A and B are shown apart, each in its own frame.
Chain A
Amino acid sequence: MTASRSSGAREHVLARIRGALSQSGTDLVEIPREYRTVGPWKPGAPATIELLVDRLVDYKAIVHRAADVAELTTAITQSLGAPTTLTTGAAPAVVVPVGLDAGWVDTIRAAGFEVLTDSRTDPVPLDRLDTVVAVVTAARVAIADTGTIVLDGADDQGRRAITLVPDHHICVVRADQVVGTVPEGVALLTADCPQTWISGPSATSDIELSRVEGVHGPRTLEVILVGAAAG
């Protein structure tokens, strides 16, 4: 039993709040929602995709376009680059969430990488995760106006650690997952699973306001947009 629960702090704080409000007033507030809930960019439309690309490039993410499965395979292979054999003689490893598309998993193997499959019930140990060269996932939704990609922990995106620890995150986003505005993105998301909103690799401007990309988390973010050929 912790200090607060045995001391009645909860009741005390709530009583204080109620007491304060009895003094300052409890008139209900009407909330005006005149802000736009949809923008001029339709989900999945070429203009919307272009906007997303513009923002991602601005954040120093690397962007690939793939019109079909063949181009997607090429893009994944290109993103991974040539595998550098480890000093142990082993092949470098890539971690994937358990529900990732089997075809993409094959592509990763074919490119010369060992594939580690991660799930909540059978996670890759942290020290092993620290040695992988990349992670490949899908996404839940992308918001074009802000260049944001949201992962929500579904089987094809995985638990949060796998997109955090490796230095290279390759994220496959389908054109129909791309919406224009933040309200549209929020409407497609729920609180069911932990979420990560990603808008470019990490950055800091704490040193003389000079922006440095890639502090913690993947220093390289590559986004493959599928079903949207370069317009």
Chain B
Amino acid sequence: MTTFLGVPLRRKPDPELRHPNPLRGSESFPQAARHELGNTQLRANLAHATSVIRAKRAAVVNEVPDWEALRDAGSAIKADVMVRLPELLEQLEEKVTARGGVVHWARDADEANRIVIELIRATGQTEVIKVKSMATQEIGLNEALEDVGIAAFETDLAELIVQLGHDRPSHILVPAIHRNRAEIREIFLREMGDAPPGLTDEPRALAMAARAHLRRKFLQSKVAISGANFAIADTGTLAVVESEGNGRMCLTLPETLITVMGIEKLLPTWQDLEVFMQLLPRSSTGERMNPYTSMWTGVTPGDGPQEFHLVLLDNGRTRALADTVGRAALHCIRCSACLNVCPVYERTGGHAYGSVYPGPIGAVLTPQLTGTTGHGDPNASLPYASTLCGACYEVCPVKIDIPSLLVMLRARMVDEDRGRKVPDGWSAAMKAASWVMSDAGRFAAAEKLTGVGRLVAGKKGRISSLPFPASKWTAARDLPSPPAETFRTWWARERGDQS
């Protein structure tokens, strides 16, 4: 309760303050990166993790003689899904319904959460178990359930660690990568309730503690919530690709299953599995195949949940779909290969992006899902969180040209600010540079100014300090002294006649 001059003030609770927005951070990427870079534990863990996964991925991909052909097919199949999305979704709905499932549609996160809450309430349960799902993170489902008194228990080991640690995931695939074994042990002892007292920090011991803790939940829970890696339009089949077996537990044992899935996660036909069941495991965990994949269609009497609900989620995907170039971001199959090769992500980690979708794909997907409101919007800084090195494009199993998407989004950010006539040092500088650089005479005249730099460099021959904004450079780097002669001056002097 805040007071003003002793009088209590009633303020409407700001929903943003109660729960952080899953798709937008509170500060720009450069600001967030600054303090994340200082987290040496995170840096060490990430550097190790990403280099290990990179090596594993490279090994299993090099084994596959037709990898590029698979990528070409995967890319085209996803592009096909986008242009036929309405028909494919209708087909999926028809097939799921024919097999006893119920399909729901959600325009946004709030609607999706309301649907899920209603479905859970209809079962009378106040506890649910969950398989890791990016889509449910995106909509802030756990928090929405918590707000209405429904407890959602994460069953993925890493999500369990994050949940028990009251933390946020930092990587799509290995969300607790920022935690080391000692921290995990501490979290288990403190929060699990039934952790064995002599628990060591040996990974096997920690995993077995999680197994025992969760087994009780698996055998008792009546309602499970999952996401889906793929939904096959021509059969109505959903697929969940996993490693630990908690997926199988959640998808098989409860009476009611609710699956939340983005509308873009379709494959047109059963046959398309032959492409994606090769692309996904090798790209994500660097294995020939992940331990368990479950596939189910609607309800099978006597086997698995007898009540199945599929919630189809828009939440900004149609915004991305409206851009010819930008919609390629919707091809993403959430493998996280791009995160593992990104030199920026490797150092800043996922929290710096402020979104459940971090890294290269996050930088192009997040701002398209949410839209951006000008350069004060943290998400407007995401397309700039890249050196355009291209490593992500090389490893993307569906060939999303992330560097080109980043450039296109940067152009969009610039144009958004143009429309608002926001005075910005960058745009003035860029306009001036454009004027100078579109004419050799103007450029040569500008080059003469570099002579000042020679004075600054002096005898040392280097410049170590410059005023803002060039100070951003000289904070960490020298600049060499500008040369006595530019190339064109030299050429004109030495080779005047040879143009």
Q: How far is the CA of A125 from the CA of B214 in the complex (A)?
A: 19
Contact A17 B263 (CB under 8 A): yes
Q: Contact: B303 with A13, CB < 8 Å? A: no
Q: List residues of chain B with CB within 8 A of the CB of A27.
A: 83
Is B77 in contact with chain A by the CB < 8 A criterion? yes
A52 to B232, CA, bound (A): 28
* B-side interface residues, number (CB < 8 Å): 103
Given A36-B65, A194-B300, A204-B157: A3 and B114 within 8 A (CB)?
yes
Q: Which residue of B lies closest to A191 (CB)?
A: B235
Whether the pair A20, B289 counts as a contact (CB closer than 8 A) is: no
Within 8 A of A (CB), among B273-319: 273-275, 277-278, 281, 285, 287-297, 300-304, 311-312, 314, 318-319
Contacts of A143 in B (CB 8 A): 289
A117 within 8 A of B: no
Instruction: Tell me if B181 and A208 are in contact (CB < 8 A).
Output: yes
Is the C-beta of A110 less than 8 angstroms from some C-beta in chain B?
A: no
Q: Is the CB of B83 within 8 A of A29?
A: yes
- Taking a contact as CB atoms under 8 Å apart, the answer to whether A17 and B83 are in contact is no
Count how many chain A residues have C-beta atoms less than 8 Å from C-beta atoms of the other chain.
83
Main secondary structure of the interface of A (DSSP, over half): loop
A132 → chain B closest CB, angstroms? 13
Per-residue interface assignment for chain A, residues 198 to 224, with 1 indicating a CB less than 8 Å from any chain B CB and 0 otherwise: 111111111111101011110000000
Contact with B along A1-45 (1 / 0, CB 8 A): 011110101101110111111011111111111111100000000
Would you call A130 an interface residue if the criterion is a C-beta within 8 Å of the partner chain's C-beta atoms? Answer: yes
Within 8 A of B (CB), among A182-198: 182-183, 185-187, 189-198
A199 → B minimal CB distance (Å): 4
Q: Is the CB of B243 within 8 A of A34?
A: no
Q: How does the 8 Å CB contact mask read for A115-134 relative to B, with 1 for contact and 0 for none?
A: 00001110100110010000
- When distances are taken between beta carbons in the complex, the residues of chain A under 8 Å from B327 are 20, 24
Q: Does A166 contact B (CB under 8 A)?
A: no
Complex CA–CA separation, A187 to B249 (angstroms)? 27
Which one, B73, B80, B271, contacts A28 given CB within 8 A?
B80
Task: Tell me the smallest distance from the CB of A210 to a CB of chain B, in Å.
Answer: 4
CB distance from A221 to the nearest CB of B (A): 9
Closest Cβ of chain B to A165, distance in Å, is 8
Contacting pair B302 A216 (CB below 8 A): no
Which residues from chain A contact B290 at a C-beta distance below 8 Å? 199
Q: Smallest distance from the beta carbon of B329 to chain A beta carbons, Å?
A: 12
Q: Give the complex CA separation of A30 and B204 in angstroms.
A: 48
Residues of A within 8 A of B111 (CB): 3-4, 7, 9
Asked whether any CB of chain A lies closer than 8 Å to the CB of B176, the reply is: yes
Q: Once the chains bind, are A29 and B300 in contact (CB under 8 Å)?
A: no
A49 to B114, CA, bound (A): 51
Confirm or deny: A180 has a beta carbon within 8 angstroms of a beta carbon on chain B. Answer: no
Instruction: Point out the residues of chain B lying under 8 angstroms from A207, CB to CB.
Output: 157, 176, 181, 184, 203, 206-207
Does A4 contact B207, Cβ atoms closer than 8 Å? no
Are B304 and A159 interface neighbours, CB within 8 A?
A: yes
B472 within 8 A of A: no
Contact of A17 among B89, B118, B155 (CB under 8 A): B89
Complex contact A16–B314 (CB within 8 A) = yes
Q: Which residues does chain B contribute within 8 Å of A17, judged by CB atoms?
A: 85-86, 89, 263, 318, 321
CB distance from B226 to the nearest CB of A (A): 14
Residue B322 CB within 8 A of the other chain: yes
User: Which single residue of chain A is at the shortest CB-CB distance from B288?
Assistant: A146
Is B237 at the interface (CB under 8 A from chain A)? yes
Which residues of A have CB within 8 Å of B292?
A: 196-199, 202, 217
* Pairwise interchain contact A161-B253, C-beta atoms closer than 8 A: yes
Tell me, rounded to whole Å, the shortest Cβ–Cβ distance linking A167 to chain B: 10
B424 interface residue, CB < 8 Å from A? no
Interchain nearest-CB distance for B129 vs A (Å): 11
Contact of A212 among B52, B69, B155, B204 (CB under 8 A): B204
Contact B73 A33 (CB under 8 A): yes
Residues of B within 8 A of A25 (CB): 83, 324
CB-nearest residue of chain B relative to A8? B105
Rounded to whole Å, the gap between the CB of B371 and the closest CB of chain A is 13
B285 touches A186 (CB 8 A): no
Once the chains bind, are A13 and B107 in contact (CB under 8 Å)?
yes
User: Known contacts being A159-B302, A208-B203, A210-B203, is A164 close to B270, with CB within 8 Å?
Assistant: no
A171 CB to nearest chain B CB (Å): 14
Q: Is there an interface contact between A21 and B180, defined as CB atoms closer than 8 Å?
A: no
B218 partner residues in chain A, CB cutoff 8 A: 216
With A28-B80, A36-B66, A159-B303 as contacts: A199 and B291 at CB distance below 8 Å = yes
Bound complex: CA of A3 vs CA of B114, how far in Å?
7
Q: Are A24 and B321 in contact (CB under 8 A)?
A: yes
**Residue B245 at the chain A interface, CB threshold 8 Å:** yes
Pick from A23, A121, A189, A216: contact of B248, CB under 8 Å: A216
Cross-chain contact A191 with B270 (CB below 8 angstroms): yes
Once the chains bind, are B244 and A13 in contact (CB under 8 Å)?
A: no
Question: How far is it, in angstroms, between the C-alpha of A5 and the C-alpha of B102 when the chains are bound?
Answer: 11
What's the Cα separation between A148 and B281 when bound, in Å? Answer: 12
**Is A123 within 8 A of B294, CB to CB?**
no
- Chain B residues contacting A28 (CB-CB under 8 Å) are 80, 83-84
Query: Could you say which of B118, B207, B235 contacts A204, with CB atoms under 8 Å apart?
Result: B207
Task: Contacts A25-B324, A28-B83 known; list 7 others, CB within 8 Å.
Answer: A13-B106, A23-B322, A36-B65, A160-B304, A203-B244, A207-B203, A207-B206
24 sample A-B contacts, Cβ–Cβ < 8 Å, listed by A number: A12-B105, A25-B83, A59-B291, A146-B288, A160-B248, A161-B253, A164-B248, A165-B253, A182-B277, A183-B274, A186-B277, A194-B300, A195-B294, A196-B248, A196-B295, A197-B293, A199-B289, A199-B292, A202-B291, A205-B285, A215-B157, A215-B207, A215-B243, A216-B218
Q: Which 9 A-B pairs have the closest CB atoms?
A: A120-B302, A216-B245, A217-B245, A191-B235, A146-B289, A202-B245, A20-B321, A20-B322, A159-B303
Taking Cβ atoms with an 8 Å cutoff, the residues of B that contact A are 45, 48-49, 52-53, 65-66, 69-70, 72-73, 76-77, 79-80, 82-86, 89-90, 104-107, 111, 114-115, 118-119, 155-158, 161, 174-177, 180-181, 184, 203-204, 206-207, 210-211, 214-215, 218-219, 232, 235-237, 243-246, 248-249, 251-253, 263, 270-271, 273-275, 277-278, 281, 285, 287-297, 300-304, 311-312, 314, 318-319, 321-324, 326-327
Please give the residue numbers on chain A whose beta carbons come within 8 Å of chain B beta carbons, in ascending order. 2-5, 7, 9-10, 12-14, 16-21, 23-37, 55, 59, 119-121, 123, 126-127, 130, 143, 145-148, 153, 159-161, 164-165, 182-183, 185-187, 189-210, 212, 214-217
